Amino acid sequence: MIQKKSNGKSNELAIALVSGGMDSLVSAAMANENHHHMAFLHLNYGQKTEERELESFGKIADFYNVPVERRKVIDVTFLSQIGGSSLTDNKMDVTSYQGDSEEIPTSYVPFRNTHIVAMAVSWAEVIGAKKIYIGAVAEDSSGYPDCRPSYYKALNALVKEGTKDGDIEVVTPVIELKKSDIVKKALSLKAPLELTWSCYSSEDKACGICDSCALRLKAFQLAGVDDPLPYHKRPSYL
């Protein structure tokens, strides 16, 4: 049984996967509500906004007082060598938001989350973490297949079978939330939304028209809250 202190937080070490975006921020904030000790993991996979995302990762880690020795950045740029995504392939343009289209957008990185979680599980075995928090979102996401609840159910079964003690769990605290509810959750947890970065194509100001910017802006607009990030364009998505 996990021992807990009087404030209800677990002494069990948890890893938060932090891309630098809003969903991973809120997932990390929820991990912080549940755990005294956290480790942060960020993966560079050759994405076009890699430097800006890494900057956000560092600032969010500072905000939550994650010790330097429990921050890890792993280079997985082999994903850009595989290609197949506008996030990593310079020959492919990042497409603008397609509304309610059922097509998976070009920003999908093939099987990315499996690679990311695999790195986290490996590190968890090394440092003794028992929970891995990831900010996957199903309903309001871009339709990525590796953001579905059924995927994480299967993945947890794999992790149980493929690890030494079989007691590491991948936790998806925002997977059933709408994006607008994630904004509200961030506000209720006083999570630093101003430190995040979501844009797929720009590092100075967010473009406002890529899939990620559109979903983010729509979420803020539905929540009735101003997005603190600067944008080249700030369309209404309502």
Q: What would the pLDDT profile of 142-160 be if each residue is shown by its tens digit?
A: 567 888 899 999 999 999 9
Q: Which residue, chain included where needed, has tokens 């560092």?
A: 58
Q: How many domains does the chain have?
A: 1
Within-domain flag for 84: yes
Measured from the Cβ of residue 234, the count of other Cβ atoms closer than 10 Å reads 18
Within-domain flag for 29: yes
Q: Pick from 21, 197, 218, 200: which is nearest to 106 by CA?
A: 200
What predicted TM-score, i.e. pTM, was given to this entire model?
A: 0.89
Over the chain, what is the mean pLDDT? 89
* DSSP-assigned letter for residue 74: E
Residue 46: predicted pLDDT: 77
Within-domain flag for 185: yes
Residue 200: predicted pLDDT: 87
Which range of residues forms the domain containing residue 26? 14-200
Within-domain flag for 227: no
With bands split at pLDDT 50, 70 and 90, how would you rate the model's confidence at 47?
A: confident
Query: Cβ(59)–Cβ(195) under 8 Å?
Result: yes
pLDDT per residue as tens digits for the range 53-93 = 999 999 999 999 999 999 999 998 877 776 656 555 555 55
Within-domain flag for 85: yes
Within-domain flag for 211: no
Q: Pick from 93, 112, 107: which is nearest to 17 by CA?
A: 112
pLDDT at position 17 over 50:
yes
pLDDT per residue as tens digits for the range 89-108 = 555 555 556 566 556 655 56
Sign of CA dihedral 69, 71, 77, 79: positive
Residue 94: predicted pLDDT: 54
Within-domain flag for 224: no
Within-domain flag for 182: yes
What CATH number did the domain enclosing 141 receive? 3.40.50.620
With bands split at pLDDT 50, 70 and 90, how would you rate the model's confidence at 5?
A: low
5, 138, 146, 203, 229 from 176: Cα distances, Å:
29, 6, 14, 29, 25
Cross-sheet strand order for the sheet of 14-17: 71-75, 38-44, 14-17, 131-133, 169-171
Q: State the distance between the two ends of the chain, measured CA to CA, in whole angstroms.
A: 47
